Amino acid sequence: CCCLFAWAKRSENNFEDQSSTVNDEMVDRLNSLQESYEFCKAELNKQELSNKMRYDVDAIVRVMTIPLVQYFIVHLSAQSGIMGDSQTEDEVDYMILYALSVLPLISICDEEVFGKLYTELVTGARSYDPLKFSEILKTLQDRYPCLGLSCSDIGISVLSVSTDEVPCQDPASNPGIVGYEPTYGTSFEMSKIDLDVSTILSLVLMEAHDLAIDIYKYGRNAKKEDSISYTAIQDLSNPKSQIVTNIYDRFINDGVDYTRVTEASILGVDEFKSLSPLRKSAAASLSIVTIDLHLAILDAMYQGIDVCNQEGTDANRHWDEAVALFAGWAEGVQERGSDSDGYLMFNIAQQICQRFDTCDENDNSPVNGIIIQKFSNGQDFLEQLQCDDALNSAKEIEKLIESILIDNLTYRSMTASSSFDQTSFLLAHITATALVPL
């Protein structure tokens, strides 16, 4: 049989220790969708049901990724000679096929790894080096969280003992963020908001504007604690703390709605209509980070201060989320962040120091280092309910982020004045838009 059910069944037969089978998970999700749809037709809790249906559909997409990854591992193993003498021309083609199915999904969070593996397993597949099997498998396993998967989702191959030499390990439940050690594990999910940014940019490049705006409005990667919906970038830019609400009001109440720039750049309308997909993508990226997520960082910090003033015990939950929104998941746990994978404010600061030759001796942004240190200081203050000291840390971080935006505006303005290019003017316009209401 060549149906998807049988295809998935054959795939899972090659693996053991899976947390659940793909087909069982598919049937459960489809039943859940059917049930939600019937309730929705009866007009019961439509918004809640639509969120649940969206989550189920997204879960189905992720579950269908599992057989793709499993077959990729199987044919990579075969081409590496691990399963005996199976390096046939057909086997090479199968490896290429499944590489083409899996690698673009990884590009959302790691373009550098995508490019490297694409060269080795697609364009250079005929000269693939079998000795690189363990390295490639480990690289793939480390990107499972990017795909919304875990080690137990994929399981352990039963076709080769060599995969035991590359044990799969899920990330810690509360990993660090560019050197900052969170108090709460919720920051790990929030940090994945940068994967939403990356996904939106990819969709804008493909001119899939409706899908891009859907992710902007409803999210796809940063799970909420209720586990049936996602944190959305659009929601993050609507503040809850009074201090940031006052800032937000300045964005929308002086006769010009500055927040509309993000949606316009994603949809490619108004001043962005004539831009190429690549330039629309650059505009959307800058707008999301400097307007939407800028407000979100401030709001998370000041929500933490509000909780502290009420003598709450979980002020650092919000504070940790501010760090996650500043740096993101792709930057990793090391203090210096990633060399090429960042998308958020941390990455903008890194780009600026490189453009103005102001990086430190390790080629890192000094401003990033100061901000992360002040986040760590504020974390300690909140833990000890020293709310005034934490407030001072928040204000200092706010000013440092403003300095990043000012430096970015300087760079964009210099580029625009020297090139007279429409895109440069629009990027300068977006950066100015992020600053004017402040």
pLDDT, position 298: 95
Q: What's the whole-model pTM score? A: 0.87
**15: β partners:** 157
Average pLDDT in the 58-65 region?
90
Rounded to whole angstroms, how far apart are CA atoms 62 and 348?
30
Rounded Cα distance, 289 and 198, in Å: 11
| The pLDDT of residue 293 | 95
What does the pLDDT read at residue 160? 60
- Model confidence band, residue 379 (pLDDT cutoffs 50, 70, 90): very high
- Choose between 291 and 85: higher pLDDT: 291
Question: Tell me: the pLDDT tens digits for 416-438?
Answer: 888 777 777 888 888 888 887 77
- Bridge partners of 230, per DSSP, are 223
The whole-chain average pLDDT of the chain stands at 87
Query: Residue 12's pLDDT is what?
Result: 85
Q: Over pLDDT 70: what percentage of the chain? A: 94
> Which of the four pLDDT bands, split at 50, 70 and 90, describes residue 162?
low
- Residue found by looking up tokens 């049937």 in the block: 27
Q: Across residues 355-376, what is the average pLDDT?
A: 92
Q: What share of the chain is helix, strand, coil (3-state, %, to 5)?
A: 70, 0, 30
- 164: pLDDT strictly greater than 60: no
pLDDT digits (tens, 9 = 90+) for 306-346: 999 998 888 999 999 999 999 999 888 887 777 667 889 99
Least confident among 183-192, 272-281, 334-343, 353-362: 334-343
Cα separation, 146 vs 429, in Å, equals 32
Q: What pLDDT score does 274 carry?
A: 87
What distances in angstroms separate CA 337 from CA 244, 253, 259, 289, one per listed residue? 28, 37, 29, 17
Residue predicted with more confidence, 371 or 229 = 371
Distance CA 320, CA 300 (A): 8
The predicted model gives 370-384 an average pLDDT of 95
Residue type at position 244: V
Please check whether residue 65 is in contact with residue 56, taking contact to mean a CB–CB distance below 8 angstroms: no
Tens-digit pLDDT profile for residues 72-123: 998 998 888 876 555 566 778 999 999 999 999 988 888 888 999 999 999 9
Q: Could you give the angle at the alpha carbon of 377 between the alpha carbons of 372 and 379, nearest 5°?
A: 95
User: At residue 370, does pLDDT exceed 80?
Assistant: yes
Secondary structure (3-state) at 156: strand
Do residues 180 and 324 lie in contact, with contact meaning Cβ atoms separated by under 8 Å?
Answer: no
Say whether pLDDT at 223 is over 80: yes
Within 109-192, where are the H helices? Answer: 111-118, 133-142, 151-154, 186-191
266/44 Cα distance (integer angstroms): 32
pLDDT at 414 (0 to 100): 87
Give me the pLDDT at residue 245, please.
Answer: 85
In this predicted structure, the answer to whether residue 39 has a pLDDT above a threshold of 60 is yes
Specify the pLDDT at position 85: 53
pLDDT of res. 337: 76
Residue 8 scores a pLDDT above 90: no
Q: What is the pLDDT of residue 340?
A: 63
**Are 270 and 282 contacting, i.e. CB atoms less than 8 angstroms apart?**
no
**Does the pLDDT value for residue 259 go beyond 60?**
yes
130-159 tens-digit pLDDT: 889 989 999 999 889 888 898 999 988 877
- 118-149 burial string, b = 16+ CB within 10 Å, else e? bebbeeebeebeeeebeebbebbbebbbbbbb
Question: What local confidence, expressed as pLDDT, does residue 2 receive?
Answer: 63
The C-alpha atoms of residue 415 and residue 293 are separated, in whole angstroms, by 24
* pLDDT for residue 416: 81
pLDDT score of 297:
96
